[in-house]
Amino acid sequence: MEGLKILPDNSIDCVVTSPPYWSLRDYGVGGQLGLEPTFQEYIQKLCNIFDEVKRILKKEGTCWVNIGDTYSTVSGSMGKNKWSQPKYSIADGSMPEKIKTPFPDKSLCQIPSRFAIEMTRRRGYIVKNETDEAWLGGIIEGEGCITIAHHNGYYEPRVQIAMVNKGVLDRVQQITGVGTVSKQTERNNPKWRDSYIWKASGSTAAKICSDIFDYLVSKKEQARIIWRMVEMQKERERTGGDPYSKVGQKYSEKQMTERQKLFEEIKKHNQGNGTPTKLKNPTKNEPWILRNTIIWHKPNCMPSSAKDRFTVDFEKIFFFVKNKKYWFNQQFEPYTEPMNRWGGEKLVASGESSWDNGTGQTTYRDRDMRPNPEGRNKRAVWSVNTKPYSGAHFATFPEKLIEPMVLAGCPEGGVVLDPFFGSGTTGVVAIRNRRNYIGIELNPEYIKLANDRIQSIEQNLF
């Protein structure tokens, strides 16, 4: 997550990755994903990572995620390997010995489907659940204040709620996971009851306003104003300035005037005498669009010892995009069966088409149909043998599996990101296909493995 946070918005063309599967393997490093005691925690953490991926992916970008399932078991199923240690820290300080699932023993947990559903459902930058959005929207509308703090030349967007009921503010903090709750002592009148204040500032405040925007009534204009303020700060950052610098030092005359105007406007709105600003509504964090579920069929899968079910010889790969229009380079594969009447996919007709009086439409009936010389549109079941990588990593991608993703989803010269880089297969395939890559990996030994591997490829290429 920290690695993703330093990457700028809209900077990556394509993401190809395979996160650790839930409760399957111990990758031997603190902070790793996959060892959460419940599947809900795993899905939430994983989707939080993909929220960040969405931020850095270009509008026209593509995202490919290979993820496997886990069988529910009463005996616990933590895979052990040479990295396993008796105890090391994960989120709660200890490694779960047994996984806890609400599913019947021996049942598949359906993690891939749950992940895809959460990815295509979740909105919101910070508040991930619609019920919480409505609740928080109501509290901020009724008891909160959306404002800009102006102090000594600094302008800081802010959302705050002040009240005597600390429980409500603790809940706000729990829902958002941000901000602070502090006690306000009434100095002038010590007999008054203590009250508490919760505050969030900067781009966090703007994101909260975007999440609850639909539930605001009288504070919509304030939400638009602080959203604009943060957009301005981002524009300033892009042009190399310090976004929080003092008035008169780094901001242009025009920007300073706009900031001052926004500050004046929000003040008027909070005093109840503002006028409509015509500013844009905050941008919603839209859910991912799922374009394909690809089945990775493994003809050489490991034989299974199970005698009361079939051997599983496939995994799922989800193909997500951020926007309805995206960069996609169609991939073809050879025809394998004779054409049907309609010729299957991607037929090229020779000769003129004619007008069909019966249907009133142009018809291909009189034309000779022939297959597209490039082949048919690539289908969604991909048969690729698993290929154990000779280095010391367990779950490597076969290069052949991810090549179509890179070719279809990333223009030449573009950047492919793998936030779970492992032994660096995504980097290898990117280089071989004249794309750039960024890899993020927690385990230092795997980083070394990936670097050595990529270096040897580069030496062979040039």
To the nearest whole angstrom, how small is the minimum distance from the Cβ of residue 423 to ligand SAM? 4
Confirm if 418 and 454 have CB atoms less than 8 A apart: no
Look at the block and give the residue holding tokens 């380079």: 329
Q: Tell me the C-alpha distance between 1 and 420, whole Å.
A: 10
Residue 245 or 386 with smaller CB distance to ligand SAM: 386
To the nearest whole angstrom, how small is the minimum distance from the Cβ of residue 205 to ligand SAM? 27
Q: Tell me the C-alpha distance between 62 and 415, whole Å.
A: 11
278-315 per-residue burial string, b: 16 or more CB within 10 A, e: under 16? ebeebeebebbeebeebbbebeeeeeeeeeeeeeeeeb
Residue 50 or 446 with smaller CB distance to ligand SAM: 446
To the nearest whole angstrom, how small is the minimum distance from the Cβ of residue 47 to ligand SAM? 13
Confirm if 396 and 385 have CB atoms less than 8 A apart: no
To the nearest whole angstrom, how small is the minimum distance from the Cβ of residue 439 to ligand SAM? 9
To the nearest whole angstrom, how small is the minimum distance from the Cβ of residue 217 to ligand SAM? 40
Residue 369 or 447 with smaller CB distance to ligand SAM: 447
Residues paired with residue 371 on neighbouring β-strands, in sequence order: 347
To the nearest whole angstrom, how small is the minimum distance from the Cβ of residue 122 to ligand SAM? 19
Torsion of CA 150, 153, 154, 157, to 10 degrees: 30
Burial class of residue 150 in the structure, from the number of CB atoms within 10 Å of its CB (0-12 exposed, 13-18 middle, 19+ buried)? middle
Give, as one character, the DSSP assignment of residue 79. B
Q: Which helix (H) or strand (E) holds 2?
A: helix 2-5
Confirm if 161 and 219 have CB atoms less than 8 A apart: no
Look at the block and give the residue holding tokens 């009534």: 217
To the nearest whole angstrom, how small is the minimum distance from the Cβ of residue 39 to ligand SAM? 16
Residue 33 or 63 with smaller CB distance to ligand SAM: 33
Interface residues with ligand SAM (CB under 6 A) are 18, 20, 27, 29, 31-33, 393, 395-397, 420, 422-423, 425, 440-443, 446
Rg (CA), the chain: 27
To the nearest whole angstrom, how small is the minimum distance from the Cβ of residue 440 to ligand SAM? 5
Q: Tell me the C-alpha distance between 45 and 39, whole Å.
A: 10
Residue 282 or 424 with smaller CB distance to ligand SAM: 424
Amino acid occupying residue 131 = T
Residue 23 or 423 with smaller CB distance to ligand SAM: 423
Residue 206 or 405 with smaller CB distance to ligand SAM: 405
Residue 4 or 208 with smaller CB distance to ligand SAM: 4
Q: Which helix (H) or strand (E) holds 69?
A: none
| Residue nearest to ligand SAM as judged by C-beta position | 422
CA distances from 34 to 8, 22, 105, 312, 345 (A): 26, 4, 20, 21, 40
Residue 201 or 396 with smaller CB distance to ligand SAM: 396
To the nearest whole angstrom, how small is the minimum distance from the Cβ of residue 173 to ligand SAM? 24
